[in-house]
């Protein structure tokens, strides 16, 4: 309080107990802070909840999308499985109904999966082999190349084409020889891995045996032709080219390695015989008959030889003669022998006539004097006849 001089003379002090109030205010402040913290926490939680809710909504949408995709994939898989099943069914029908031998071998052990009756006929087996490894189904393949070829195809993924490969197939306890044309075609999965091998085969045993039989006949014919010195040829009438044996060429004075055409043949014939041979060939083509001719040919060394030739035309599907097959032989020795025979017969005929004339004359004279007494004339004529007969006997012996 101020004194008379205006200065603070004393201080008036009053006091009130506010402890409870302070405690209450402090408690209020603490509660306020707690509430604020709670509010802040709730706000944060709410934000987290909102964020989580948004994430959940996003995840839900993703799950919904994924579920839709899964449903779509499932549908596609079902469709694919159905298509695959249909394809497998069609493939099985294709194999089983194929007009050629077919089989499907599955896996590395080449398990017999699908077969048709034709391949079973080649294998000499029944359908009990289905499900068996090929090595067990066909044990006779053990020492043959087929299993090794299959392994190579399975490993490399490259197809194999076999042509007229010999196979020994078991039948009734024995091995029978057959010849096959076949294909080993690998089948791949979506990752390009070999999963099976498709076998397509054709039994060509009859064709191979027929060809070998023809070849054997041809070889025997060639041996016979060579032994008899006969040549053979086939002429292409449109080009004039010839497919001739060595003997055929040699009969015209050509070596085996030399080219020999129909023009060469025609020009080797002596000019005075060419028209005749040409007409014979034309007549043969016209009548589908066999022509036969003997004619002399001149070799390149100037020597003349005689040829005996036979030929017959061959016609295409249009009925046009496009080929001529023929054979020839060198008959020079025969012709020379015939000439020598003719010359000998001419000489022999002349030589026989002389003693025959003498014998005839003696007999005629004897006939005139047969009624006369026996004389020296009879003796002389008989001796002359005997000499003539002896000479004729010698000539006949020489002949």
pLDDT tens digits for 300-314? 999 999 999 999 999
- 140 pLDDT higher than 90: yes
Q: Which CATH superfamily is domain 229-330 in?
A: PAS domain (3.30.450.20)
Q: What is the pLDDT of residue 194?
A: 94
pLDDT of residue 47: 78
Domain ranges of the chain: 27-93, 98-210, 229-330, 341-398
More confident residue, 129 or 220: 129
- The size of the chain, in residues, is 399
Nearest to 252 by CA among 303, 297, 310, 308: 297
- Check pLDDT > 70 for residue 69: yes
Split at pLDDT 50, 70, 90, the class of 34 is confident
CB 186 within 8 A of CB 159: yes
Q: Which pLDDT belongs to residue 13?
A: 65
pLDDT band of residue 378 (cuts 50, 70, 90) is low
pLDDT over threshold 90, residue 167: yes
pLDDT the model gives residue 351: 65
**Is pLDDT of 297 > 60?**
yes
Geometric angle at alpha carbon 384, from 381 and 386, rounded to 5°: 110
Give all strands of the β-sheet with 304-315 in edge-to-edge order.
Answer: 242-244, 230-236, 321-330, 304-315, 291-298
How many other CB atoms are found less than 10 A from the CB of residue 108?
13
Extract the tokens encoding 17.
């107990």
In this prediction, residue 334 has a pLDDT band, given cuts at 50, 70 and 90, of confident
Percent of the chain predicted with pLDDT > 70: 83
Query: Which tokens sit at 351?
Result: 């030589």
Which long-range contacts link 318-323 to residues 24+ away (Cβ below 8 Å)?
Answer: 321/237, 321/285, 322/236, 322/237, 322/238, 323/234, 323/235, 323/236, 323/237
User: Do the beta carbons of residue 269 and residue 295 sit within 8 Å?
Assistant: yes
Concatenating the DSSP letter of every residue in 92-123 gives HHHHHH-SSEEEEEETTTTEEEEE-HHHHHHH
Q: What pLDDT, on the 0 to 100 scale, is given for residue 374?
A: 62
First to last CA, the chain: 202
The contacts of residue 225 (CB under 8 Å, 6+ apart) are 231, 232, 245, 247, 327
Please tell me which residue, 116 or 21, carries the higher pLDDT value.
116
The whole-model pTM stands at 0.50
Q: Cα–Cα–Cα angle for 257, 258, 264, nearest 5°?
A: 150
Structure confidence at residue 1 (pLDDT):
65
Per CATH, 98-210 and 229-330 having the same topology is answered yes
For the chain, give the mean pLDDT.
83
Residue 175 in 3-state DSSP?
A: strand
Mean pLDDT in residue range 347-372:
66
Instruction: Single out the residue of 156, 147, 145 nearest to residue 109, CA to CA.
Output: 147
117 vs 76, residue with greater confidence? 117
The CATH classification number of 98-210 equals 3.30.450.20
Query: Which pLDDT value is given to residue 373?
Result: 59
Contacts of 136 (CB under 8 A, 6+ apart): none
pLDDT > 90 fraction of the chain, expressed in percent and rounded: 48
| Least confident span in 63-77, 180-194, 328-342 | 63-77
């Amino acid at each position: 309080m101020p004194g008379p001089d205006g200065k603070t003379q004393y201080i008036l002090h009053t006091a009130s107990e506010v402890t409870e109030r302070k405690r209450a205010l402090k408690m209020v402040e603490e509660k306020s802070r707690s509430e604020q913290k709670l509010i802040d926490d709730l706000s944060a939680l709410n934000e987290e909840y909102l964020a989580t809710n948004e994430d959940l909504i996003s995840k839900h949408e993703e799950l919904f999308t994924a579920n839709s995709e899964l449903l779509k994939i499932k549908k596609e898989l079902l469709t694919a499985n159905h298509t695959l099943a249909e394809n497998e069914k069609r493939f099985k029908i294709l194999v089983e109904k194929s007009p050629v031998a077919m089989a499907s071998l599955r896996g590395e052990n080449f398990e017999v999966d699908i077969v048709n009756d034709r391949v079973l006929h080649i294998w000499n087996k029944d359908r009990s082999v289905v499900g068996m490894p090929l090595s067990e189904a066909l044990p006779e393949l053990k020492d043959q190349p087929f299993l090794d070829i299959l392994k190579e195809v399975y490993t490399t993924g490259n197809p194999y084409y076999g042509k007229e490969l010999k196979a020994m197939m078991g039948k009734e306890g024995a091995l029978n020889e057959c010849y096959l044309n076949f294909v080993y075609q690998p089948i791949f999965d979506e990752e390009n891995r070999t999963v099976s091998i498709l076998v397509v085969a054709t039994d060509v045993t009859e064709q191979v045996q027929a060809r070998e039989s023809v070849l054997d006949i041809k070889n025997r014919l060639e041996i016979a032709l060579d032994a008899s010195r006969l040549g053979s040829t086939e002429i292409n009438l449109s080009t004039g080219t010839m497919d001739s044996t060595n003997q055929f060429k040699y009969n015209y004075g050509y070596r085996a390695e030399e080219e020999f055409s129909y023009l060469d043949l025609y020009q080797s014939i002596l000019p005075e015989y060419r028209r005749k041979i040409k007409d014979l060939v034309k007549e043969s083509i016209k009548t589908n008959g066999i022509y036969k001719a003997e004619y002399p040919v001149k070799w390149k060394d100037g020597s003349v030889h005689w040829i005996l030739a036979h030929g017959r035309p061959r016609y295409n599907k249009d009925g046009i003669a496009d080929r001529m097959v023929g054979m020839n032989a060198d008959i020079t020795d025969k012709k020379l022998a015939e000439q020598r025979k003719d010359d000998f017969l001419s000489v022999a005929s002349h030589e026989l006539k002389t003693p025959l004339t003498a014998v005839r004359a003696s007999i005629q004279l004897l006939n005139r004097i047969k009624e006369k007494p026996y004389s020296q004339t009879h003796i002389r004529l008989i001796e002359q006849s005997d000499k003539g007969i002896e000479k004729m006997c010698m000539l006949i012996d020489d002949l």
